Amino acid sequence: MTEREQLFDAWADRYDAHVAQEKGFPFEGYEAVVSEIVSRVSVTAGERVLDLGVGTGALAERFEQSGCELWGLDFSNEMLVRARAKCPTGRFLKCDLLGEWPNSLPLGFDAIVSGYVFHEFNTEAKIRILRRALRCLNPNRAIIIGDIAFSSSSEREEARRRWKKEWDEDEFYWAWDEIEPRLNDLGCSGTYTKLSACGGVIELRRTIE
């Protein structure tokens, strides 16, 4: 087990309470971000939703309630235990998003979502994961990502100064002006919507079939 897996396994018991506090950096606006993800995903019973970095299932359970076919990937065993308890009909697989994805994971998802996960990965790693995810997405459907994110690198730098004590230099918070120029190479278009001082939602849609 890697040090990173141990960290998230240990965090699993406290994760839901931690994010629910919401005040200040990094989870200010958490509920607004998660609710916005759900509002943008239009799925009906039986359609497939994939949650990347499903964690404790805090986001996934909102989709299970709609009767969709729910799938989730996460590398933490303890997080997956809690996701399975919240979403008994979900199908959850242990997987490091940067590694090989399970062969048992189907293609043809009607929505792919992620909540507060991608800031763990640098820009190149984000691109690799998104490229892989886009191959799993049905035409005319979207990837909706809620995360610690900023409109620009300058806004992110302002936030870094503002929350100097809380800022984690080992994490890679989104700056939309860094990612947007890469979308054409990914074969998708996208938008960023700011929802709090340090959170927002990124929506990506395939442009190449």
Q: Average pLDDT for residues 125-134, to the nearest whole number?
A: 97
Give the pLDDT band (50/70/90) at residue 42: confident
pTM of the model: 0.95
3-class SS string, 157-191? HHHHHHCCCCCCCCCCCEEHHHHHHHHHHHCEEEE
Q: What percent of the chain has pLDDT over 70?
A: 99
**Res. 208: pLDDT tops 70:** no
pLDDT given for residue 209 in this prediction: 62
> Which residues lie closer than 8 Å to 87 by C-beta, 6 or more apart?
57, 60, 61, 64, 70, 72
Alpha-carbon separation of residue 170 from 97, 120, 122, 201 (angstroms): 18, 8, 10, 22
Domain at 3-206: CATH code: 3.40.50.150
pLDDT given for residue 174 in this prediction: 98
Cβ 129 vs Cβ 121: under 8 Å: yes
